[in-house]
Each structure stands twice: as C-alpha cells, then as structure tokens.
Amino acid sequence: MALFARVVGGDRAAFEELYRLYHPRLTRFLLNLIRRPTLVEEVLDDTMMVVWGRADSFNGASKLSTWIFAIAYRKAMRGLKRQDEAVEDKDAENRVSDAASPEDASSRQRINALLMRAMDELSPAHRAVVDLTYFHDLGYREIATILECPVDTVKTRMFHARRHLRRRLSGALTDWI
Amino acid sequence: MAEIIRLRGSPHEQAQQLLPWYVNGTLEADEAAMVEAHLVECAECRADLAAEQVLAREVAALPLDVEHAWSMLSDRIDAAGPPRRLAEPVPFLRRKVAIGWALGGPLAAAAAAVAFAVTLTPGAPSPAGETYRALGSAPTAAPGNALVMFRPDARDSDLRAALTKAGARVVDGPTASGAYVVRIAPASRTQALDGLRATPQIVLAEPIDPGSQP
C-alpha cells in the first residue's frame, strides 16, 4: 500500500512498479476473458490509465487488487461489446479448426486443447469466474465485487461452468485422475 | 447457461455450491467446516471434490498465452491461403551470391575439415558405438529435461510461483510417483534446479536427459 500511496501522489516510478506488478496477472485474466490479444493490450492500457488517473478514488473498501481487476473487467466487457458491434464473426462458433486434433498430442497437450475449447464455449462472464477461482485463487465474495454482481450469481455461474467443463473433459479427466 | 437453478437449502446443495472455493482455500472457517462435515457423509461430494481438484489444477496450468496466440495466427494463415513462393528456382549464375564466395566457401569448408581431421589424435578410438541424438529427434518438440516432485501439502499457487521463477514449463505428469516432467532452458538448467531444490515445497528436482527414463 505504500507503493500505491506514492501512485496517488503522482509518482511515475511508483506507477511503473505497480504496472509491472500487475501486468502478468491482468494479461492472464484479460486473455482468458476476451481471447483477443490485440484487444487485451488495449484494455490493459485503458485499465492502467484509469488506475493512474483515478488512483485517488480508491477508498480501501476492497483490496487494491480487487479494485484493479474490477476496472479491468468493466473495460474488457465494454471493449468486447465495441468490437462485436464492429466485426461480428458469425461463423466463429461453427468453424472447425484444423489444428492438430486433441487425440494426436500427448495427454497433457490433449487435456489442454480440450479444456481450451471447453473454456471457449463458455460466456466471458462464466470464464471470468472460473479463471478468478482457479488461477487467481480468489474467494467468491471478492469475485462478486470484481464482476459487480451478487454472490449467488457467482456461485450459480461457477456451478454451470464446471458442469460444462467436466462434461467436456469427462473421458480425459478420468484418465488423468 | 441462462437457466436458473436453486442451490440453496440442503447441506448437500450448499456443499456442491461451495466446493470450488473449498478447493482454492478461500472459504470462511465456518463454511469450510460445513463442507467438511458434509464430505464425511457424502460419497458423491467426495468424488466431486477429487474431480474439482483436477479441474482446478488443469485450469491453472492452461498455457493461455502461446496456445491461444498461435490458434489466432493459425486462423489467419488459414484465411490467407497458401503462401506465395518463388515459382522458379533462380538459375545458379544469377543468384545474388558473389561467385568468389560460391566457389571459395566450399573450398574453405574443405580446408577446415582437413585441418580438423589432422588435429584428431591418430589411433584414438572412434566413438562408433555412440548414437548422437539431436534435440529435434525427440518425440516432442520440447521434451522435458527435469523432474520435479512437490510436497503433498504444497499449494497450487506456490507450485506455480516456484516453476515460474525457475523458468520451468510443465510438459507432462504427474507420473505414477506424483512427479512432474518440466522443461527448462538447457543453458540455465543447473541454476534453475538449484533454485527449485532450495524451495521448501519441493521434495526433489533432478535433471533428466533424452533417452533416460524418469
């Protein structure tokens, strides 16, 4: 928090440190959420610009990371909406990828590929809950704050998402256990 | 995804709902106690817990960056069609290589080969029995070159932090003995393994080389 206090005071070096601290986590979160590397870069920049410009509006009601992730989530959803209006790829869902089929690869790569596809089939909001839980290790209350939704919504999304993922991975996961 | 289901009510339903956060260790003490009390008496939830732990590990291990970036590029390549290559080979005399180098290069190489052969000790046993294995000849593009085993109570986040710090990427595992095969840049392997061995959550970190059995 000493670092953030310096950011509030307009210390550029402190902000750079904060940026470097959050860049990996935000990249992972946004890439999983919006799945478009070019948009990820833009949203990450927008997010950090808000953190820099509005640092004084952070009131400590939540953890700093929760506040930053919540800004990123809002920016991401807005970015997605903007881009979907611009170029709607109607065929994307039906397109068959001719990348190596999951059966060809080693078991680890096969599970990765299956899981990646299953994650792709979830909505961004569902993906966000899964990733915040299992990669970022956040509790459901914190996730609700980030996504600005009731805690019951987080639980319900997670319930549906994991049912979907486990159904898609059923064979592979039993082998893996 | 839009259907609404009611999960409140019975301890079973509540436990089902809280399992993911029981797995990642973020529940309040009373919630965790409730889930644990239910797990004791519910085989279905115990099975779900095991599956959930695997799912958690796999989600956390997703190499989102490379895989996804590659699939995006791959789609663009598909859309662009086959690349245009030079239709005709360029005739030898019109290649943009000075004729002197074209002739001198092979000569210099031959001279170097002779020089090298001369420096070999005459009569030294030739390494005929050995087979040389290039990295590219291994079954996967980047085979694992180290084995890492974690303490059973190590947290996933600790494991990730330790592996990231060492620049190690999981390529297979867990093996039957619970170890993971990882890939570390060969140049920094010794140093990275020393770092891993110094991590309290790590029981074992040993180099393995292509051809040897983990």
Instruction: For B5-35, write each residue's pLDDT tens digit.
Output: 444 578 999 999 999 999 999 999 999 999 9
* Span A68-114, pLDDT tens digits: 999 999 999 999 888 776 654 444 444 444 444 545 556 777 778 88
Domains A1-86 and A101-177 share a fold: no
> Hey, where are the domains in chain A?
1-86, 101-177
Q: How many CB atoms lie within 10 A of CB A29?
A: 27
User: Which CATH number goes with the domain that contains B147?
Assistant: 3.30.70.80
Determine the residue of chain A that is closest to B180 in CA distance: A108
Evaluate whether B185 touches B157 at the Cβ level (below 8 Å): no
Of the listed ranges A52-61, A158-167, B171-180, B201-210, the least confidently predicted one is B171-180
Asked if B172 and B181 touch (Cβ cutoff 8 Å), the reply is: yes
Element (H, E) at B150: strand B146-150
> At which of B46, B80, B114 does a domain end?
B80
Question: A108 to chain B, minimum CA–CA distance in Å?
Answer: 6
Q: Which residues of B touch A126 (CB under 8 A)?
A: 1
Q: Do the Cβ atoms of B62 and A119 come within 8 Å?
A: yes
Asked if the structure places residue B108 within a domain, the reply is: no
Neighboring chain A residues of B21 at a CB cutoff of 8 Å: 133, 139-140
Does B67 contact A at CB distance below 8 Å?
yes
Beta-carbon separation of B55 and A123 below 8 A: no
Tally Cβ neighbours within 10 Å of residue B37. Answer: 12
Cross-chain Cβ contact B24/A133 below 8 Å: yes
> Which of A97, A169, A177 is facing B50, going by the closest CB pair?
A177
Most confident of A138-147, B54-63, B152-161, B177-186: A138-147
Q: Are A176 and A115 in contact (CB under 8 A)?
A: no
Q: Are B89 and A146 in contact (CB under 8 A)?
A: no
Does residue B110 sit within a domain?
no
Instruction: State the Cα torsion B76-A102-B176-B132 to the nearest 10°.
Output: -60
Q: What is the DSSP letter of A106?
A: -
- Answer yes or no: CATH 1.10.1740.10 is held by domain A1-86: yes
User: CA-to-CA distance for B119 and B121, rounded, in angstroms?
Assistant: 6
Are B37 and B30 in contact by the 8 Å Cβ rule? The answer is no
- Work out how many domains chain B is built from and give that number: 2
- Give the residue carrying structure tokens 């089902």: B16
- Over residues B153-209, the pLDDT tens digits come to 777 777 788 888 888 888 777 776 778 888 888 888 888 888 888 888 888 888 887
**Cα–Cα–Cα angle for B22, B18, B154, rounded to 5 degrees:** 10
DSSP character for A104?
A: G
User: Which residue has better confidence, A159 or B157?
Assistant: A159
**In-domain check, residue B133:** no
Task: Say if residue A91 is exposed, middle or buried (CB neighbours under 10 Å; 0-12, 13-18, 19+).
Answer: exposed
Tell which of B33, B49, B80 closes a domain: B80
One-letter amino acid at A34 equals: I
The pair of three-digit structure tokens given for residue B114, joined into one six-digit string:
């002779």
Provide the shortest C-alpha distance from residue A49 to chain B (in Å): 23
Domain, as residue range, for B202: 141-207
Q: Write the CATH number of the domain with boundaries A101-177.
A: 1.10.10.10
Chain B residues whose beta carbon lies within 8 Å of the beta carbon of residue A36 = 72
A161 within 8 A of A147, measured Cβ to Cβ: no
Q: Which of B61, B80, B99 is the last residue of a domain?
A: B80
Of all residues in chain A, the one with the smallest CA distance to B171 is A108
Whether the CB of B13 is below 8 Å from some CB of chain A: the reply is no
Find the CB nearest A155 among B17, B51, B64: B17
Output the pTM of the full model.
0.57
Helix (H) or strand (E) run with residue B65 in it: helix B64-80
Q: Could you tell me if A26 lies within 8 Å of chain B, comparing CB atoms?
A: no
- Whether ipTM > 0.85 holds is no
Size of interface A-B (CB pairs under 8 A): 111
Largest CA distance in chain A: 55
- Is residue A35 less than 8 Å (CB to CB) from chain B? yes
- Tokens found for residue B153: 């109570």
Count of H-run helices and E-run strands, chain A: 8, 0
DSSP 8-state class, residue B212: S
A114 close to B (CB below 8 A): no
Cβ-based contacts of A31 with chain B (< 8 Å) = 64-65, 68
- Position B168 in a domain: yes
The answer to whether residue B46 sits within a structural domain is yes
